[in-house]
Structure 1
Amino acid sequence: MMIVQGLVLLLLLSIVPTNSLICYECGCDQSDTAACDCDTTSDITDNDYCVILEQRYVGTTYIQLSRIPRNSSWIYIEDPYYILTHESIRYNLTTSQWYLWTFIVVYGCDWDLCNAPNLINSLPNSFKYNINSIWLDLNIYGTGAVTSCHHCDTEVCGNVTNSSDFIQCQMVTCDTNITSCLTYDLWNNVATGEQCYQSQCAPEYLNGEFAESYGGKYRIDIEAVVYLAQDRSKYDIWELDVFCAVKNCTRPTIFQEVSQQLTMEIGDLSAFPPTRPLTTHASTTTTPIPDPLRCYSCDCSDASTCPCSSTVVSSLDYTYCVIIREHYGQDVWTSLRHIDQNSTRVHIQDFPYLLVRESILYDEQLIQWNTTTNSIVYGCNYDLCNHPSLIPYMSNSFQMYVQEDWLNTNVKGTGQPVRNCHECPEEPQCGTSDFLDASRCPIRECNTTCLVSDIFDKPNDDLQCYQSFCAPSDSEHFHIDTNRVDIEGLLYLNKEPYTVELWEVDIYCRADDCSRPEIFSELKSNLTVVIGDLGPLDPQTSTSSQSTNNPSTTTQSTTNPPTTTSTASLLSGDSLFISL
């Protein structure tokens, strides 16, 4: 539960700017660090600072240049000029040796453009922690197995004045398949010595065949920070996690013992000046951003508004502004930001646009079809066009409905236990609407739900990709809706009369032969689009445009599909974007 995770998750928090600090805003992986040599920057408040974050996984390292608020970590950052590392000293079962693995490195600074991309390669060699292997053998590995550990029902916390009550954590016998312990100590306030202790028998996944993929069951995880404007030979430990298999290795004093054994190796810090620059203004030699585009940049969880004055400058050559509204049950998440022009699976031809994803589900108890909105995206390409005042108009922009009689006949069916289902699960078959090669998608009998998807790569040219297969049976951890239609519709606001283009249709059906390729053209014929007031969303119009179509007998619901539904691994349409 290393607390740097909380620091990472808050990299995208919304903030209120005063144009007091400029930070780079880029992302890349280790194989292409040139992608982080970007010209995108953001303006932020006095309470924020710039960061470079490196997250390391087996085979790759992800890098992010961004900014975070001062209060984004569980432990208060005394000085925003620092390097924080999360490292793990692990035991290799094959070589019987201890080795160091670095999870995360965070560099923080507080002057203009201080998180420059040229610092990326300096971070891995900044600091490394070590513990004597003999001590590790005796106190962490031991014989490789243990039968009992201290167990605390909750965290036991205390400080220098009021010590922790460790009596609450009794020694317990672990299950027979558990052979190691897990204990951690979290310093909530380094200055006052406030810390929290927790201990337990190690979780099952650390004792199974995949234990090594989780880091192994013999290790010490260390999270510590070095303040670069202070004595660089000193460090503050934020958290210690001990994974051990020695009798009484979860004793509360183990953390003091680890701290005494811990040594730090200081690497090459020449790239990080010992004192801050005298000026906090951006360099006048900075390359200007070509065709600059300023977008609002905030994330909110409120259902109706998202107050925001934070902005980010990028280039109109390869980005545009968006407002993204995503519905999760009764919760709605809103994101104002810029995205890459190539981030959508289907090419955006014009601006501004609206992209809506809806689900039509059959309620077995109410015996009716309900339509829910999963997400709405508004995209535009001029300065500050994704203004938060537009958010209330998005939910009423347009809705899509399908005739219930058609849904009952072609999706729900009559309840027969077996239906014919085309089977081409390996890859979609692409072409025009009458393209299907039956030999590639043969028909088979299906006693579960038939999943059929149509992605319109170029809606105007009738180019689409079809895929169909019989879903696996439900299990304890997997459930799929039996009668459902997901629709993605795109509307360009500068093209009248307003026409909604279908990007993707996913059908979860139990009617016979419901996976026939022509079912998508039939659905379009039975689709009703209700256009709302689009005037506020289109800067070139001042009057609203109403559709003459009336909604069918389909009713609109405010609830989402059951949370047990899992479709992400089956159909590709769960996200409107390739990546965000």
Structure 2
Amino acid sequence: MNGYIFSSLYFTILIFLLSVQFTSTLDCFDCKNCDSIASCTCDTIKSVDANNSYCILLRETSQGANNFEIRHIPWDYTPYISDPYHISVVETISYNEITRRWFSISNKIIYACQTDRCNRADLLKQLPANGLSLMLPDNWLSENLLRKSSKDTIICRECISENKCNHGTRIINADQCSVKICQSACLMDEKFDTTDRTQFCYESVCSDDESVDPKFLLSQITITAVYYINKKQLETVEMNVVCNGADCSRLQIFRDVRNKLQKDLNNIKPFLPMNHGNTIYSTSFIFLIMALLQAFISY
């Protein structure tokens, strides 16, 4: 009789643990009233499906104004994300014509996580003002992006984006692009696309339109990158380049950027390392409980 009772208890607990394993929700803070870090508090919690969403803290800077967000986002919101524990950034490397120096600014930074209430408002102030401080060697930037004083024109390959996707290899056939002598800047993009398949698409065009504000044609690189906390790995997913160099629209320039890209992880230490165990019971914990119950029944 006792064996029957313990067996029933064993299977009841097993079913409960398995149901928690596969149906658990994730609690994320959710507030839209954060105008500044100093005044930002958030007590509102939203429960979401842990299999389809993760929590985020976001800071975005535009024209000197900061926007803050505390919420959750679905997995398919950003197609290139492969792990919920990450820090993603959008940063721009620009050239100052007055100081003749290269500098980096942070446009957006997102901390993403998938444990209950991991996107606390007090962590907003820990998001580094400079993001990951993405940078490239000064000599490489000057050599590849700046126009030589002796040059009036540059070489710009013109590629149409919808025909210049590389099916995941990040290398396309240069014969697909025509060569144009350009008076102004060459604008280039490499972006991640999953419309039909996972691939990177390339676009390059000469901007000889005189109506374009010259400040938008200054040499710079804007990089969207993701640092995966668990893998300790940085991946670039999009790049936008404004180039005034002699032949900077060569197709290898994006590979050069990835190989030479520098980052600074010191300012994100408050987020590294941390316990990223999911709020859902782990499989190993379930097996441990099963073993203990089985031993108790046998006894």
What range is the shorter-chain TM-score in? 0.7 to 0.9
Q: Partner of 1:374: helix, strand, or coil?
A: strand
Residue from 24, 27, 31 that aligns with 1:298? 31
CA 1:505/1:428 → structure 2, altered by over 3 Å: closer, same or farther?
farther
Question: What is the CA-CA distance between 1:364 and the residue it aligns to?
Answer: 1.4
Residue from 435, 439, 442 that aligns with 2:171? 435
**Structural mapping, 1:44-443, within 5 Å:** 291-299=24-32, 300-303=34-37, 306-346=40-80, 348-395=81-128, 398-415=132-149, 416-427=151-162, 429-431=164-166, 435-443=171-179
Give distance in 2, aligned partners of 1:450 and 1:457.
Answer: 22
Q: TM-score, normalised by structure 2?
A: 0.74
Question: What is the CA-CA distance between 1:393 and the residue it aligns to?
Answer: 2.0
Match of 1:205 in 2: none
**Which amino acid is the alignment partner of residue 96 of structure 2?**
D
Give distance in 2, aligned partners of 1:291 and 1:328.
Answer: 37
Match of 2:182 in 1: 446
**Which amino acid is the alignment partner of residue 393 of structure 1?**
Q
Structure 1 position 487 matched with structure 2 position 220: no
Match of 2:204 in 1: 468
Give distance in 1, aligned partners of 2:218 and 2:237.
Answer: 22
Give distance in 2, aligned partners of 1:312 and 1:474.
Answer: 50
CA 1:434/1:531 → structure 2, altered by over 3 Å: closer, same or farther?
closer
> Considering only CA atoms, is the larger Rg found in Structure 1 or Structure 2?
1
Return 5+ residue gaps in structure 1 as ranges.
1-289, 542-580
Q: TM-score, normalised by structure 1?
A: 0.40
Question: What is the CA-CA distance between 1:394 and the residue it aligns to?
Answer: 1.7
Question: What is the CA-CA distance between 1:503 and the residue it aligns to?
Answer: 1.1
Structure 1 position 540 matched with structure 2 position 271: no
Match of 1:501 in 2: 235
Give distance in 1, aligned partners of 2:37 and 2:219.
Answer: 28
**Which amino acid is the alignment partner of residue 443 of structure 1?**
V
**Which amino acid is the alignment partner of residue 510 of structure 1?**
N
User: Contact 1:295/1:313 (CA < 8 Å) preserved in 2?
Assistant: yes
Give distance in 2, aligned partners of 1:491 and 1:398.
Answer: 9
Query: Runs of at least 4 residues of structure 1 off by over 6 A?
Result: none
Q: Deviations over 1:333-365 (max 9, x none)?
A: 11001111101131x222310001100111112
Aligned-pair identity in percent equals 26
Q: Partner of 1:529: helix, strand, or coil?
A: coil
* Greater RCO, 1 or 2 (C-alpha within 8 Å, sep 6+): 2
**Which amino acid is the alignment partner of residue 521 of structure 1?**
R
Give distance in 1, aligned partners of 2:99 and 2:216.
Answer: 19
Give distance in 2, aligned partners of 1:493 and 1:467.
Answer: 31
Return 5+ residue gaps in structure 2 as ranges.
1-22, 277-299
Count of aligned positions: 247
> Which of the pair is proportionally richer in strand?
1
CA 1:404/1:304 → structure 2, altered by over 3 Å: closer, same or farther?
farther
Match of 1:567 in 2: none
> Which of the pair is proportionally richer in helix?
2
**Which amino acid is the alignment partner of residue 420 of structure 1?**
I
User: Contact 1:362/1:369 (CA < 8 Å) preserved in 2?
Assistant: yes
Question: What is the CA-CA distance between 1:507 and the residue it aligns to?
Answer: 0.8
Give distance in 1, aligned partners of 2:226 and 2:181.
Answer: 35
Match of 2:295 in 1: none
Give distance in 2, aligned partners of 1:349 and 1:296.
Answer: 22
Give distance in 1, aligned partners of 2:178 and 2:90.
Answer: 30
Question: What is the CA-CA distance between 1:428 and the residue it aligns to?
Answer: 5.5
Question: What is the CA-CA distance between 1:292 and the residue it aligns to?
Answer: 2.1
Question: What is the CA-CA distance between 1:464 and the residue it aligns to?
Answer: 2.6
Question: What is the CA-CA distance between 1:455 and the residue it aligns to?
Answer: 2.3
User: Contact 1:303/1:333 (CA < 8 Å) preserved in 2?
Assistant: no
Q: CA RMSD in A?
A: 2.6
User: Contact 1:323/1:336 (CA < 8 Å) preserved in 2?
Assistant: yes
**Which amino acid is the alignment partner of residue 349 of structure 1?**
S
Q: Partner of 1:524: helix, strand, or coil?
A: helix
Give distance in 2, aligned partners of 1:336 and 1:468.
Answer: 36
